[in-house]
Structure 1
Amino acid sequence: MTDAPLPPLADLLQTARVVALPLVTRFRGILVREALLLEGPEGWTEFSPFVEYDDDEASAWLAAAIDYGWLPAPPGVRDAIRVNATVPSVDPDEVAAVLERFPGCRTAKVKVAGGDQVLAQDVARVRVVREVLGPEGRIRLDANGGWNVDEAEHAIHALAEFDLEYVEQPCATVEELAEIRRRTKYMGIPIAADESVRRAADPLAVAEAGAADLLVVKAQPLGGIRRALRIIRDAGLPVTVSSALDTSVGLAMGAHLAAAVPDLEYDCGLGTASLLAADVAADPLAPVDGSVPVRRVEASGDLLDRWAADEDRTAWWLARLERCHAVLDR
């Protein structure tokens, strides 16, 4: 499953470091982001599938870590990546402070369809984002598959007044995405697919079904930079490159993927180091003037020590690493 030869498990365990990083605000229902860092021949790399993912799904993230840490990154066509701000499901009065953490970003991705929130709260949040960004700013929504088709249609109508760039994963399934795209096509608001690419047995199914106008691709869940580039090539749709609340090491992997994409029309979701209250790098890959540079990031020994996960969580991650290595070694 990996483009690089699978390193022995002992080699991975030798450099493995597990961290627990506090977030600035709750995101995806968590206040602490755990990650496992590895050092390969090409430098530091990251294995950080969300804790609820099973081993088969998480093994793709390990393949990505090995791809990035054991092989040189593919040649890029750009040395900086424009990135978007990410606005979690916060109250409207918190929006301005969140956006301040993304200096120079002209685009904001706003989380909507939170399970404990109603549409009126989403509308209020997006309204403030539009006020802060002004008329020239770009707003995209991310529902993480939280609506059914009827709910999505109603919500897109309610939020269309804010001049949306696109709506990401409004519904969970490929069939639902195709239907909501059909229902709202006259509005001219593109539909993007994320989970239907990165969590699908066939990441090309959404493109083949005509269910999306663009794809959101992420290096770790798709098995690494090279596999993601093959998916982009075969899908034949515009893409944006995003992250999964990675540390700066994982974000650097995403930046190298974005650098190698031939055509990159959309700002990328690689500025999420700004959502972390701590990081593993002394020089985090945070947005400056709306962009992040394409470079490898070195993990700091002092920061790895400071934010080390406790003994139980470290043992949990090392056991997960061993199981996922076994999946890749089948």
Structure 2
Amino acid sequence: MGEAAPLPPWTEPAEACLAALRGARAAVDRDEPVAVDDLPPAAAHALSLAVADATARRDGRPLAASLAAEAGLDAPATAVPVNATVGDGSVDETVAAAEAAVADGFDCLKCKVGARGVAEDVDRLRAVRDAVGDAVGLRADANGAWRREEAERAVDALGGVALEYLEQPVAAGDHGALRALRGRGVPIAVDEAVNAPSGAEGWPDPVEEHADVAVLKPMAQGGPGATVAAARRLADRGVDTVVTTTIDAAVARAAAVHVAAAVPGGGDRAHGLATGGLLARGVVDDDPAPVADGRIAVPAGPGVAGEAFDGVV
């Protein structure tokens, strides 16, 4: 079972993904090999996940165990914490949403910033920290909205807020700004800078001089195995990995939970996998990887989720 959920700018457009999958299907019908690494990322994700799921089911073990073994990593976590996402509201709205998430059992929050002025975003984050206390992890995600000068002002003002990290404060290609923001009191994470279809700016190099954390989307990385392999390389360079989705449906989202469990230290940090509620409807009635008290248990059946997706087309 595989899934493609193309979502530019992180992956190829839907039309290109569909064309690539049709081409792969035609090659299989001709009994020709398919070069998965040559496919655009969402299409590659669908095919590589289908193969990985089939292999893990054949071997009778969860996908996370297969991924960890293939990458030479320790046994995966059995559950992963996840962050709640708090949208870009006013100070009062942001605090209310943060408090509601904590009441629902989340102990890590990611607040969206960048659509308002820097001063207002700083006020919002300070208010959230005051409201939820020091025991709750707090992250901020600008989605590349700030210019370098704005990002520097934000980082300098947020030193006392104890952010776990500030995600993609500047545009994906502004590697110089990322490097300049390191070591100023707020850890820096990258998302758009490391999740993009081929032909984009490419990863900042060396990545450990530009980021403390890499937020990896398996759909944008070309599949679960590619993502775990990237996470191992990052860990070797002192960069942590957080796993999130491109607003995937249940198949890819459950697979991403396995990825999060398999990456180095994956059970010790919150991941961005509480995204199922952003979809109008799902592909199955019962989500095999639901959020409960701010955590997701890794599906224990063979493959992605045992028989949970049997019959899903």
TM-score (norm 2): 0.71
Counterpart position of 1:160: 159
Q: CA deviation at 1:170?
A: 0.9
Q: CA deviation at 1:70?
A: 3.1
Corresponding residue for residue 94 of structure 1: 93
Deviation at 1:221, TM superposition (A): 0.6
In structure 1, what is the Cα distance between the partners aligned to 2:99 and 2:277? 10
Counterparts of residues 1-330 of structure 1 (less than 5 Å): 40=1, 45-50=2-7, 54-55=12-13, 59-72=40-53, 73-75=63-65, 77-95=76-94, 96-97=96-97, 100=100, 103-114=104-115, 117-173=116-172, 176-187=174-185, 189-199=186-196, 201=198, 204-208=203-207, 210-235=209-234, 236=236, 237-264=239-266, 265-276=268-279, 278-284=281-287, 285-295=289-299, 296=304, 298=308
> Aligned partners of 1:212, 1:101: CA distance in 2, in Å?
27
Give unmatched runs, 5+ long, in structure 1. Answer: 1-39, 305-330
Corresponding residue number in structure 1 for 2:57: none
Percent identity reads: 32
Number of residue pairs aligned between Structure 1 and Structure 2? 256
Deviates further, 189-198 or 96-105? 96-105
How far the C-alpha of 1:107 sits from its partner, in A, is: 0.9
- Please list the CA deviations of residues 209-231 of structure 1 after superposition, one character each: whole Å capped at 9, or x if unmatched: 72111211111110001111222
User: Deviations for 1:175-228, whole angstroms, at most 9, x for unmatched residues?
Assistant: x344444345142x2111111111164865444472111211111110001111
Which sits farther off after the overlay, 291-300 or 265-274? Answer: 291-300
Distance 2:309 2:179 in 1: 42
Deviates more, 1:142-151 or 1:272-281: 272-281
CA deviation vs aligned residue, 1:245-278 (integer Å, no higher than 9, x gap): 2223221121011121132342111112244454
Q: Residue 100 of structure 2 aligns to which amino acid in structure 1?
A: E
Are the aligned partners of 1:193 and 1:206 in contact in 2 as well (CA < 8 Å)? no
Length-normalised TM-score, structure 1 = 0.68
User: How big is each residue's C-alpha offset from its partner over 1:276-329, in whole Å with a ceiling of 9 and x where there is no partner?
Assistant: 454333223332121012124546989x9xxxxxxxxxxxxxxxxxxxxxxxxx
What do you get for the CA RMSD once the two structures are aligned? Answer: 3.0
Question: Runs of at least 4 residues of structure 1 off by over 6 A?
Answer: none
AA aligned to 2:252 is G
Distance change in 2, residues 1:280/1:206 (3 Å)? farther
- Give ranges in structure 2 of 5+ residues lacking alignment: 18-39, 54-62, 69-75
Aligned partners of 1:261 and 1:173: how far apart in 2?
A: 24
**Aligned-pair CA distance for 1:68:** 1.6
> Which of 198-207 and 162-171 deviates more?
198-207
Write the letter of the residue equivalent to 2:106.
Answer: C
**Structure 1 residues 178 and 263, CA, compared in 2 at 3 Å: closer, same or farther?**
farther
CA separation of 1:276 and 1:292: change in aligned 2, threshold 3 A: same
